Structures are given as C-alpha cells and as structure tokens.
Amino acid sequence: MADNKTFEEKMQELETIVSELEQGNVPLEESMTKFKDGMKLSEELSKTLSSAEKTMAKIVDDSGKESEFENLGDSATNNGQD
C-alpha cells in the first residue's frame, strides 16, 4: 500500500478488501493479511477525514463566521448554479 494514493483510491481498495472478505472464499492466512491491510487503510482514511474536518473548522474560524458545515456545502452548490 503506497502512501501516495488518493483518499478515493484508498477507499476503493478498502471496499474491495471488505467485499472479498464478505464473500468468505478467501483462505484463512490471506484473510488475516487482508483484514490487517483493511484495518490500516481504515485508520489512514479516518485520520484523513479528521484532518479535513479540522481544516474546515479552521477555515470557518478564520473567516469569522459561525456557519454549520452543511450550510457551507449548500452555499457552494448554490453559487455554482447562479
């Protein structure tokens, strides 16, 4: 697992691992390896999301506005449609 993969690539890899394990036709040793890889990916993805959340909170704080995160997304969508 290379660290230079995008969030989306890591998420796809995790989804593939989960799907393979759910099918149940993977040998035990390979299942254990896939499980460990999946847990590592899950941890990396969680850290990325946490970092993004902190960045968004900082952006809101720096702007001086107290807006709900959902409202920020709505504003961006509406601005693109005007």
pTM of the model: 0.65
Which among 5, 10, 82 is positioned nearest to 42, based on CA atoms? 10
For the chain, domain boundaries: 7-71
pLDDT tens digits, residue range 20-43?
999 999 999 999 999 999 999 999
Write down the mean pLDDT value for the chain.
81
3-state secondary structure of 64: coil
Nearest to 5 by CA among 51, 54, 39, 48: 48
pLDDT value of residue 1 = 46
